[in-house]
Structure formats: structure tokens, C-alpha cells
Amino acid sequence: MSLSPQTKQKISVVLNVSKTVFHWGFIPAVLYLAYFGNKKFDSNLTMKKIEGFPARLQTP
């Protein structure tokens, strides 16, 4: 089964967009989930535990 050139181009565009979204969104997503994630789970990554973080933004 052979793919048409248009289908190959569409697949290429989707893969390039997916790669870009993953490249720019992975670290912010991890940091967001670490900070605002499940509050019942005591995460090792919290803003109050990051040394040198501005005091006005620290969580109590």
C-alpha cells in the first residue's frame, strides 16, 4: 500500500507540529504538575523548597 504525496506531506506536518509542541511544552508541563498537582501527595519539588526563590511567591 503506497501513500499519496499529499498524505505524506500531512503526516510530516503533524509530526513536525507534535515535535515542536513536545519540545516547548514538556518542562513547563512537568513544573506545573509538580507545583499544582495532587495536594495529597507530598512532592519533593515545591516552590518553598527551592532555595533562593523570592519570599513573596513562596507557599506557606
Phi, psi (deg, nearest 5) at residue 6: -65, -40
Does residue 48 contact residue 42 with C-beta atoms inside 8 Å? no
In a domain, 60, yes or no: no
Residue 13 CA from chain centroid, whole number: 21
* Phi-psi group of 41: left, alpha or beta (phi > 0 → left; psi -120 to 50 → alpha; rest → beta): beta
In a domain, 17, yes or no: yes
In a domain, 59, yes or no: no
Residue span of the structural domain in which 43 resides: 5-52
Q: What is the pLDDT of residue 31?
A: 85
Total domains, the chain: 1
In a domain, 9, yes or no: yes
pTM greater than 0.75 (yes/no): no
Q: What is the pLDDT of residue 42?
A: 57
Could you report the per-residue pLDDT of 7-59, keeping only the tens digit for each? 999 999 999 999 999 999 998 888 888 777 766 655 555 555 555 555 555 55
In a domain, 58, yes or no: no
